[in-house]
Chains A and B, each alone.
Chain A
Amino acid sequence: MILSIKYFGLLAEVTGHSEEKIEFSGKSISDLKTILFQKYEELKNKDFQIVQNNELTTNETKVTATEIALLPPFAGG
Chain B
Amino acid sequence: MNRYSRHIILSEIGQAGQDKLSKSKVLVIGAGGLGCPVLQYLTAAGIGTIGIIDFDIVSESNLQRQVLFGASTLGINKAKAAKARLEDLNNTILIKAYPEKLTHKNALTIFKNYDIIVDGTDNFSTRYLVNDASILTSKPLVYAGIYKFEGQVSVFNYKKGPSYRCLFPKQPETGSIPNCSEIGVLGVLPGIIGTLQANEVIKLILEIGEVLSGKVLYYNSLNHQINLTKVNRSEKEIQKVMDTKTVFEALDEEINCEIPIRIISIKDAINKKNIQWIDVRDTNVNPEINHSEVLQIPLKDLKQNLNKIELGKEQILFCQAGIKSKKAASILQNHKIHSSFSLKNGACEVMKYFNNKNYDR
Contacts and interface: CB of A to CB of B under 8 A. Distances in A.
B35 A47 contact: no
Contact of B170 (A8, A47, A75, A76): A47
A56 B230 contact: yes
Interface in A53-77: 54-56, 69, 71-77
A76 B146 contact: yes
Contact of A8 (B144, B185, B218, B231): B218
A49 interface: yes
Contact of A75 (B120, B147, B232, B300): B147
A75 B218 contact: no
Given A47-B177, A49-B167, A71-B229, A77 B124 contact: no
B218 A77 contact: no
Nearest to B189: A76
Given A9-B150, A51-B227, A55-B230, A77 B145 contact: yes
Given A47-B168, A77-B144, A56 B227 contact: no
Given A47-B168, A47-B172, A49-B168, A77 B33 contact: yes
A60 to B, nearest CB: 15
A49 B218 CA distance: 13
Interface string B130-150: 000000000000001111101
B18 to A, nearest CB: 29
A55 B122 contact: no
B344 to A, nearest CB: 22
Contact of A74 (B35, B120, B150, B300): B150
B179 interface: yes
Contacts of A2: none
B145 A75 contact: yes
A35 B277 CA distance: 39
Contacts of B33: 76-77
Given A46-B176, A51-B227, A54-B228, A74 B151 contact: yes
Contact of A56 (B32, B146, B167): B167
A9 B227 contact: no
B120 A73 contact: no
A77 B230 contact: no
15 contacts: A9-B148, A49-B168, A49-B229, A54-B229, A54-B230, A56-B230, A56-B231, A71-B152, A72-B177, A73-B177, A74-B177, A76-B146, A77-B35, A77-B179, A77-B190
Closest 5 CB pairs of A and B: A74-B145, A77-B122, A76-B180, A74-B147, A76-B146
Given A74-B151, A77-B32, 14 more contacts: A8-B218, A9-B147, A45-B176, A47-B168, A54-B229, A56-B230, A56-B231, A73-B167, A73-B168, A74-B145, A76-B146, A76-B185, A77-B30, A77-B146
